[in-house]
Amino acid sequence: MREYKLLIDGALVDGAAGTMDVVNPATEAPVAACPLADEAQLDAAVAAAKAAFPAWAARPLAERAALIDRLADAMMERRDEFARLLTQEQGKPLDQATGEIMGSVFTLKAFTTMTLDPRVLKDEPGHKVIEYRRPLGVVAAITPWNFPVVLLMNKVGPALLSGNTMVAKPAPTTPLTSLLFAELAKDILPRGVFNILCDRNDLGARLSTHPDVAKIAFTGSTATGKKVMESAAGSVKRITLELGGNDAAIVLDDAEPVETAQKVFQGAMVNAGQVCVAIKRAYVAEPLYDSFCAELARLAKEAIVDDGDKQGTQVGPLQNKAQYEKVKDFLDDAKANGSIIAGGEALDRPGYFIPPTIVRDVAPDARIVQEEQFGPILPVLSYRNVEEVIADVNRSDYGLGGTVWGKDVGRAMDVASRIDSGTVWVNQAMALDPSIPFRGAKQSGFGGELGEEGLHEYTQPHIVNAITA
């Protein structure tokens, strides 16, 4: 098996706390051993990032951009190796894994085109005010297991471009692609600018309370996000929280049912439903309901569920055993509170496989409707009055994304504008773009990722306000 190392202060090193097997969720066989950091290594990584900060921050932005561009090119050159490893540790089908790697390269490159030029806020006779953007210091990047590469790159691009240094901590079940990225970083970036630690879910709290960490860029569950917020209070750290969601698809009565069902199915089942902005519940206008459900069921029954390494696989396994057990609980809830028209049973084979499952005639207050299932189960509800649907959707504590579908685009956009979420897509799903800011509302988090606003999140505005005469 190939060896993986931590990156601390420019050196690839073993973990002082031993190793842990990373398991392929399609086979339950080990992929490789992950090195585990101890607390002293965490402190060393933060100290290295702190020491590297002044020189990195002092470099011209164009030089930092050039090095990020080299990182993107290096990842592109090894995209097949990254994608295969991603499928092995995460479970997603190889074409989706390749898409994640290409998206990562694209995201890094998009940030290299951004600038942080000073803004002149006032320029009057005798008075000039300029806003500069300064880096914050050491950024801790904490990532989850569903998109381990692109969610890290969403942070690496803006954090490094704006002159911060980093300590990254991937999720314990998907650390290997981040460690592969660290090998590129070791050869391209100055010592200490990018460091990476792995853990058994036991170092996140220490990293996010560390007094020398200036900002925490966190993507993960709302429950852990709340802990991060508490941890940040000690030294008033800056935080970005990209948390959970329970995104609704609202299908209006003028939508084309078959074509829309196909797009909604894709938006619900990609990455086996383990996407923060996946469609997690669908509200369908009553006249379309039966044909819409029938098409979803057809697609679910036809979907090829298998090891993501096998060509043609459309839906891979759940990423880890804990999530698999959680989604099986949701299956029980779906059976008790609705009518399952496709899927419904975990597959009897090694690996954490649950086939695409469609639940119709489901009680609106069932857990499968009200909570984030983060798996390949789609509850479908029928409605008569769209005003009631908007009110239902907005009752959620979450507010990450959502979709609205209909031929009258003006009406669909009007409905979209009334959903209390950070992003609502119309006649498309999950269209994330590095040039467009992405952020959650309510308990889906705050602080933007991506776009120029995402870049600004890694900076401190610094105002110089001068009497000039």
Q: Please report, as ranges, the residues that interact with ligand NAD according to CB under 6 A.
A: 142-147, 151, 169, 171-172, 201, 204-205, 208, 219-221, 224, 227-228, 242-245, 276, 372, 374, 400, 440, 445
3-class secondary structure, 321: helix
- Pick 309 or 371: Cβ nearer ligand NAD: 371
**In this structure, which amino acid lies at residue 415?**
V
Cα–Cα distance for residue pair 376/344, rounded to 1 Å:
10
- Whether residue 194 contacts residue 145, with contact meaning beta carbons closer than 8 Å, is answered with no
| DSSP string across 99-162 | HHHHHHHHHHHHHHT-----EEEEEETTEEEEEEEEE-SEEEEE--SSSHHHHHHHHHHHHHHT
Nearest approach in angstroms of CB 21 to ligand NAD is 16
7-31 exposure pattern, b = at least 16 Cβ within 10 A, e = fewer: bbbbebeebebeebebbbbbbeeeb
- Pick 231 or 260: Cβ nearer ligand NAD: 231
- Pick 108 or 171: Cβ nearer ligand NAD: 171
- Whether residue 168 contacts residue 48, with contact meaning beta carbons closer than 8 Å, is answered with no
Cα–Cα distance for residue pair 210/237, rounded to 1 Å:
10
Which of 89, 100, 198, 242 is catalytic? The answer is 242
Nearest approach in angstroms of CB 243 to ligand NAD is 5
Cα–Cα distance for residue pair 413/64, rounded to 1 Å:
40
- Pick 147 or 330: Cβ nearer ligand NAD: 147
- Pick 178 or 313: Cβ nearer ligand NAD: 178
Cα–Cα distance for residue pair 467/435, rounded to 1 Å:
37
**In this structure, which amino acid lies at residue 268?**
A
In sign, the C-alpha dihedral spanning 285, 291, 292, 294 is positive
- Whether residue 396 contacts residue 246, with contact meaning beta carbons closer than 8 Å, is answered with yes
Taking CB positions, which residue lies at the least distance from ligand NAD?
A: 204
242 is catalytic: yes
Nearest approach in angstroms of CB 61 to ligand NAD is 26
Residue 415: exposure state from Cβ atoms within 10 A (0-12, 13-18, ≥19): buried
- Pick 242 or 295: Cβ nearer ligand NAD: 242
- Whether residue 199 contacts residue 6, with contact meaning beta carbons closer than 8 Å, is answered with no
Tokens 């990195």 label which residue? 56
Nearest approach in angstroms of CB 143 to ligand NAD is 6
Closest CA to 90 of 180, 17, 14, 202: 180
8-state DSSP, 189: S
Q: Within 10 A of 213 (CB to CB), how many other CB atoms are there?
A: 24
- Pick 192 or 445: Cβ nearer ligand NAD: 445
- Pick 96 or 146: Cβ nearer ligand NAD: 146
Nearest approach in angstroms of CB 83 to ligand NAD is 19
Nearest approach in angstroms of CB 56 to ligand NAD is 24
Which of 100, 276, 372, 457 is catalytic? The answer is 276
Nearest approach in angstroms of CB 292 to ligand NAD is 25
Nearest approach in angstroms of CB 315 to ligand NAD is 18
* Residues taking part in catalysis: 242, 276
